[in-house]
Structure 1
Amino acid sequence: MLRALVVSSTEKGCSSLCSLIKEHEGSVDILHCYSAAEARRIILDSELDFVVVNAPLADESGEDLAIMVTEQSLATSILVVRVEYFEQTQALYSNQGILVVSKPVIRQMFFQALSLGLSLRRRLGAMHNENEKLHRRIEEIKLIDRAKWTLIENLGMDEGQAHRHIEKQAMDLRKSRYDIAVSILKTYQR
Structure 2
Amino acid sequence: MVDSVLLVSNTSSTMQIISGLFVSQPISRIVPAQSCTEARRSLLESEFDLVIIDTPLPDEFGDDFALHAAESSGSGVVILVDGIRLEDFGCIFEDSGIFALPKPVSPEVFLQAVKLLIASRRQVQRVEAENRKLLQKIEELRMVSRAKCVLIQTLKMTEAQAHRYIEKQSMDLRLTRTAVAENVLRTYER
The two structures have a TM-score, normalised by structure 2, of 0.87
> Secondary structure in 2 aligned to 1:22?
coil
Q: Is residue 7 of structure 1 aligned with residue 8 of structure 2?
A: yes
Unaligned runs of 5+ in 2: none
Q: Percent identity?
A: 38
Counterpart mapping for 1:26-175 below 5 A: 26-175=26-175
What is the Cα deviation at residue 92 of structure 1? Answer: 4.5
Contact 1:3 1:48 in 2 (8 A): yes
In structure 2, distance between residues paired with 1:60 and 1:145: 53
Contact 1:82 1:102 in 2 (8 A): yes
Contact 1:69 1:75 in 2 (8 A): yes
| Residue identity opposite 1:138 in structure 2 | I
Contact 1:74 1:124 in 2 (8 A): no
In structure 2, distance between residues paired with 1:15 and 1:153: 70
Contact 1:76 1:121 in 2 (8 A): yes
Alignment CA distance shift 1:28-1:121 (3 Å): farther
1:134-169 CA deviation, whole Å, 9 max, x = no partner?
111111111112222222232122322211110111
Contact 1:22 1:28 in 2 (8 A): no
In structure 2, distance between residues paired with 1:82 and 1:2: 28
Report the count of equivalent residues: 189
What is the Cα deviation at residue 176 of structure 1? Answer: 1.6
For the aligned residues, what is the CA RMSD?
A: 2.1
Alignment CA distance shift 1:28-1:145 (3 Å): same
In structure 1, distance between residues paired with 2:89 and 2:51: 17
Alignment CA distance shift 1:59-1:50 (3 Å): same
Unaligned runs of 5+ in 1: none
The two structures have a TM-score, normalised by structure 1, of 0.87
Alignment CA distance shift 1:92-1:31 (3 Å): same
Q: Is residue 22 of structure 1 aligned with residue 55 of structure 2?
A: no
Contact 1:51 1:75 in 2 (8 A): yes
